């Protein structure tokens, strides 16, 4: 879901930060007069959010195809090498997709109870440290292909390996085997600067840099195995989104208490206050990642057709723009929070299906298996991530995204003794 909630400068709290799109109302928070955004400021904020949402979907989809091909050709990353098991994409099966809304709901309600029982200050301190680490690793992974092109050929790029094993002789097993180079260290250093900036200031630009990195990594590395699985996932989260926004106050309560870069924000008072603006329009990462992985699947389907066209990718991409625009329009018309997936899911699924019907490729589209066609050796998603529009589920989903950044438990491998 998306949200555009105006908060006073002294109270920069997020109301339903991940999953609702609100209007320019006149509600007063903490007895402080609410800032009323100008039409220009509102248009700039919404336009910027739409643009920022499209960037990780477009480039994440392209990178999902590239990393799939690289995996198929022998685990070579498109720029710096898929040298680590943690960098390989995760495949979401129909069973995983069916469990998504249930696990997400349990996580959301668990966080709701957690915030009710424990001190919000200490919980958010732990969350800040947790997302600092994940954000630095995610941003570093996102920057790596770009930096590989920026650095000159004469740059002294040394190779390093972090290796931990257990046991001896024939029973020796790898616990950690991570390879990196000097360019990766430079990316990590730059990302750490952004991380410290976010940790100390919670600035909205630093928040957006982390949010964009999380979203791009999610679209790139979470792969649906077929279109049917995508329909199950989007359909389940459609119901989940509508229920938790319209049916209860759980999501609003959690979002008000949850401080983490799991949303993209843009100030509606930027023209008046510059970079110190504090009245934000917001879009949750769940409204980017969930439709994004389905759009990425359709791009891989386009590639599998070998027709040098991207019909299904562009149709679903345009459908996403339409759905997001419709969300904003309805929010302003009815002056009420809207679950964005209520509009995004029918658009992103319906448009490509209609195109397939006209082209006579509907059966071919639903019989396409991404895990076989594009990524034959893709591992199944055994550590279940709950990616959705809520802060609870996005916090859990970062564990899956962190597999792309070396943060998760890597694959163990038995070492064969070598003769001297």
CB atoms within 10 A of CB 59: 17
Check residue 243 and report its DSSP letter.
I
Phi-psi category of residue 11: left, alpha or beta, with phi > 0 → left and psi -120 to 50 → alpha: beta
Would you name the residues annotated as active-site residues? 241, 287
Residue with token string 């982390």: 210
Q: Are strands 173-181 and 159-166 parallel, antiparallel or unpaired?
A: antiparallel
Residues written for the chain: 420
Count Cβ atoms within 10 A of the Cβ of residue 405 and give its class: 0-12 exposed, 13-18 middle, 19 or more buried: buried
Name beta bridge partners: 173. Answer: 166, 414
Which phi and psi (to 5°) does residue 222 adopt? Answer: -100, 110
Q: Judge contact between 237 and 415, C-beta under 8 A.
A: no
- Tokens representing 256 are 């008000």
| Cβ-contact 264, 49 below 8 angstroms | yes
Cα–Cα distances (Å) from 417 to 14, 168, 208, 390, 411, in that order, read 56, 9, 47, 48, 19
Question: Which DSSP helix (H) or strand (E) runs through 333?
Answer: helix 311-334
Contact 177, 84 (CB under 8 A): yes
Residues 6+ away with beta carbon under 8 Å from 376: 72
CA-CA distances (angstroms) from residue 309 to 301, 306, 333, 403?
11, 8, 38, 31
* Rounded-to-integer distance, Cα 371 and Cα 360, Å: 23
Tell me how far apart the alpha carbons of residues 389 and 391 are, in angstroms, rounded to a whole number: 7
């Amino acid at each position: 879901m998306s949200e555009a909630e105006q908060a006073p400068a002294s109270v920069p709290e997020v109301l339903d930060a991940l999953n609702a799109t609100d209007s320019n109302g006149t509600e007063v928070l903490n007895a402080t007069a609410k800032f009323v955004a100008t039409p220009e400021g509102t248009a700039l904020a919404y336009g910027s959010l739409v643009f920022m949402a499209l960037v990780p979907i477009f480039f994440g989809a392209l990178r999902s195809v590239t990393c799939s091909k690289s995996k198929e050709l022998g685990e070579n990353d498109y720029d710096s090498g898929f040298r680590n098991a943690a960098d390989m994409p995760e495949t979401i099966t129909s069973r995983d997709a069916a469990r998504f809304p249930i696990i997400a709901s349990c996580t959301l309600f668990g966080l709701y109870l957690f915030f009710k029982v424990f001190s919000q200050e200490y919980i958010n301190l732990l969350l800040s440290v947790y997302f600092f680490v994940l954000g630095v690793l995610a941003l570093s992974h996102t920057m790596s292909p770009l930096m590989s092109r920026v650095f000159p050929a004469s740059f002294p790029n040394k190779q390093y390996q972090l290796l931990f094993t257990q046991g001896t002789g024939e029973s020796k097993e790898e616990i950690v085997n991570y390879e990196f180079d000097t360019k990766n260290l430079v990316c990590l250093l730059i990302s750490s600067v952004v991380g410290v900036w976010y940790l100390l200031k919670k600035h909205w630009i630093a928040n957006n840099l982390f949010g964009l990195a999380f979203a791009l990594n999610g679209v790139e590395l979470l792969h649906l195995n077929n279109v049917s699985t995508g329909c199950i996932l989007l359909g389940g989260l459609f119901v989940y989104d509508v229920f938790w926004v319209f049916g209860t106050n759980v999501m609003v309560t959690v979002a008000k208490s949850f401080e983490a870069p799991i949303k993209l924000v843009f100030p509606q008072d930027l023209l008046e206050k510059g970079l110190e603006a504090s009245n934000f329009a917001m879009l949750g990462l769940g409204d980017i990642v969930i439709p994004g992985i389905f759009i990425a699947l359709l791009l891989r389907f386009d590639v599998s057709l070998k027709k040098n066209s991207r019909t299904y990718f562009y149709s679903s991409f345009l459908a996403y723009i339409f759905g997001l625009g419709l969300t904003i329009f309805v929010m302003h018309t009815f002056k009420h929070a809207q679950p964005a997936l209520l509009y995004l899911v029918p658009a992103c699924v319906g448009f490509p299906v209609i195109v397939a019907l006209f082209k006579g490729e509907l059966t071919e589209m639903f019989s396409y298996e991404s895990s076989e066609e594009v990524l034959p050796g893709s591992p199944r998603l055994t550590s279940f991530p709950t990616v959705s529009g809520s802060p609870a589920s996005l916090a859990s989903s970062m564990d899956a995204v962190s597999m792309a950044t070396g943060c998760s438990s890597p694959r163990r491998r038995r070492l064969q003794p070598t003769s001297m």
